[in-house]
Amino acid sequence: MVLPAFYELAIAGLLPQDWYLVGNGRGEKTDEEFAQHVHDALTEFGPAPGDGPWESFRDRLRFAGGGFTTEDPGQLVDVVDAIRDGRGGAGSADGGTGGAVEHQLVHYVALPPSTFGDYTRAIGEHGLDEGARVVYEKPFGTSPADFRELDAVVHQVLDEQQVYRIDHFLGKEATQNLHVLRFANTLVSGVWNNQHVAQVQIDVPETLGIADRAEFYDATGAVLDMLVTHLFQVAAEVAMEPPVSLGADDLQAARESVIAAFRPLDPAEVVLGQFEGYTDTEGVAQDSTMDTFVAARLWVDTDRWHGVPFLLRTGKELAVSEQRVSLVFREPEGPMTGVPSSANVLSFSLQGDGELALSVVLKEPGPELDLSTGTAALALDTVPGGEPLPPYARLIHDVLLGDRSLFTRPDGLAHVWEVAETLLDSRPELTTYEKGSMGPAAADELARPGRWLLQG
């Protein structure tokens, strides 16, 4: 997703006038070979090179081989210095005068979490930290202790304002529309509480398997890959109190405040699963007990959400692929009987450009008073004047602007690990499930007396 995001920004004209993208790795590549690597990524994942300014984009690609460690910076410092000194090519960054040019340096750390600390130390050791912005992929740590160690290393080298912990779910158009729909529409804001909402479902089932990244997945699993990152963050977006403003500091403060109100998970309210045949996958240990499915009941201990379960579910090799947030409203008191269960729902699809859907109870046309359910949906890409960006492109653009509104803070992440610690220390027994199902049947009990809205 990352390389195509830069090209999306180029197509939209949202990259700075003078920019360079420097690839860094242990191997040796020429600039032309790196450009071909980027071309192949765009060809496979889009947007296709021919759909944008490929020739001028290619001229801004550089590669610095030889790795990057505290002991040996490889070629990275030399390449960065050459660009800063106006020797970067592409017409030369200084307009041809050969003088040094001030560039904003952004490090995008797309590496295994186990290497984050060493790479961060190297940034400081080789003088590439001053004024820089550093983006870290998730998960930011793999355990509470690991998080604390990594956070300490990061803050030994960097100021917090330089740190961007990226979670692409926060960059989705529909996730951002949660704020707008709620805070700009009294019709919605008035029912955004436990007086009207029976349960919240954050459901991200996937039909995809793990064959293309088996080694990573067998060291991570669904809990670390999805639950303590994406699903907890989306839950915070739904549950937060209205911020003073939508500025970065106020929005982050509201998000982290509600995360602090997440109750530690009760392992009895968590279901872990592994799809049948998982251990037959190349790269997976034969005796692996890694989870490929997790469903959990999360409680948010605020006045607004007291008593409302947040149901979180995700897994691999399931019957459907969806990314949906649903507020299931309580059945009304009054004269109407036979109201369909879980029929009154406000939901947001987080896939693609996003969709807003409202399900309501209606009378079936005809002579009898028979009740049914009708749904109205609004695809967000049909909103007039809309030019949605893919999540990674949106977030990388925010990094270039220095906008940290949609990035996580360490205090919130620290509490996320506290919420998950009980589960990590006392994991429920793993249950196998069939490929193409919706996971272990035990997960259905978490939604009682309601039901999971997404079915296979």
**Of 338, 206, 340, 354, which Cα lies nearest the Cα of 273?**
206
Between 195 and 139, residue with greater pLDDT: 195
| Residue 70 and residue 175 share a domain | no
Domain range for 46: 2-167
On whether residue 455 sits in a domain, the answer given is no
Instruction: Provide, rounded to the nearest whole percent, the portion of the chain with pLDDT above 70.
Output: 96
Lowest model confidence (mean pLDDT) among 88-92, 224-228, 267-271, 398-402: 88-92
Q: Is the pLDDT of residue 139 over 90?
A: no
| Residue 208 and residue 79 share a domain | no
On whether residue 131 sits in a domain, the answer given is yes
Annotated binding site for substrate: 168, 172, 206, 225, 316
Residues constituting the chain: 456
What mean pLDDT value characterizes the chain?
Answer: 90
On whether residue 395 sits in a domain, the answer given is no
> Radius of gyration over alpha carbons of the chain, in Å?
24
| Residue 133 and residue 259 share a domain | no
| Residue 185 and residue 53 share a domain | no
At residue 90's C-alpha, the angle toward residues 86 and 94, to 5°, is: 30
Question: What confidence tens digit (pLDDT) does each residue in 286-341 have?
Answer: 999 999 999 999 999 999 999 999 999 999 999 999 999 999 999 888 787 777 77
**Which pLDDT score, from 0 to 100, does residue 88 have?**
62
Lowest model confidence (mean pLDDT) among 81-90, 124-133, 142-151, 317-326: 81-90
271 strand-pairing partners = 295
On whether residue 69 sits in a domain, the answer given is yes
**Both tokens of residue 238?**
């739904």
Three-state SS at 46: coil
**CATH number (domain holding residue 261):** 3.30.360.10
Q: What is the pTM of this model?
A: 0.87
**Both tokens of residue 242?**
């209205």
On whether residue 185 sits in a domain, the answer given is yes
Q: Which of 138, 167, 196 is the last residue of a domain?
A: 167
**Which pLDDT score, from 0 to 100, does residue 429 have?**
94
Q: Is the pLDDT of residue 211 over 90?
A: no
Q: Which of 150, 167, 184 is the last residue of a domain?
A: 167
Lowest model confidence (mean pLDDT) among 98-112, 156-170, 307-321, 383-397: 98-112
Distance of CA 341 to the CA centre of its chain: 31
On whether residue 41 sits in a domain, the answer given is yes
| Residue 315 and residue 243 share a domain | yes
Q: Which of 108, 133, 167 is the last residue of a domain?
A: 167
Alpha helices for 134-285 (secondary structure H): 144-157, 173-183, 186-189, 214-218, 221-222, 232-239, 248-259
Q: Is the pLDDT of residue 342 over 80?
A: no
On whether residue 251 sits in a domain, the answer given is yes
| Residue 135 and residue 183 share a domain | no
| Residue 182 and residue 152 share a domain | no
Question: What confidence tens digit (pLDDT) does each residue in 153-203 have?
Answer: 999 999 999 999 998 888 888 888 888 889 999 989 999 999 999 999 999
The mean pLDDT of 62-70, rounded to a whole number, is 95
| Residue 226 and residue 128 share a domain | no
| Residue 208 and residue 118 share a domain | no
- As for how many domains the chain has, the answer is 2
Contact 388, 173 (CB under 8 A): yes
CA distances for 209 relative to 71, 80, 212, 281, angstroms: 39, 39, 8, 10
- How do 197-205 and 309-315 pair as beta strands? parallel
Tracing tokens 């050969």 back to the chain, one arrives at 98
Question: What confidence tens digit (pLDDT) does each residue in 37-63 have?
Answer: 999 999 999 899 998 999 999 999 999
| Residue 354 and residue 259 share a domain | yes
Rounded CA gap, 231 and 311, in Å?
A: 10
**Of 108, 162, 388, 348, which Cα lies nearest the Cα of 238?**
348
**Which pLDDT score, from 0 to 100, does residue 180 have?**
86
| Residue 236 and residue 150 share a domain | no
Instruction: Provide, rounded to the nearest whole percent, the portion of the chain with pLDDT above 90.
Output: 66
On whether residue 404 sits in a domain, the answer given is no
| Residue 379 and residue 238 share a domain | yes
Amino acid sitting at position 69: T
Angle between helices 116-125 and 144-157 (to 10 degrees): 10
**Of 125, 126, 25, which Cα lies nearest the Cα of 66?**
25
Rounded (10°) CA dihedral 136, 63, 114, 119:
-80
- Phi and psi torsions of 270, nearest 5°: -130, 135
Annotated binding site for NADP(+): 26, 138
Confidence of residue 93 (pLDDT cuts 50, 70, 90): very low
Which residues are catalytically annotated?
230
Amino acid sitting at position 117: G
Cis peptide, bond prior to residue 4, ω within 30 of zero: no
**CATH number (domain holding residue 108):** 3.40.50.720
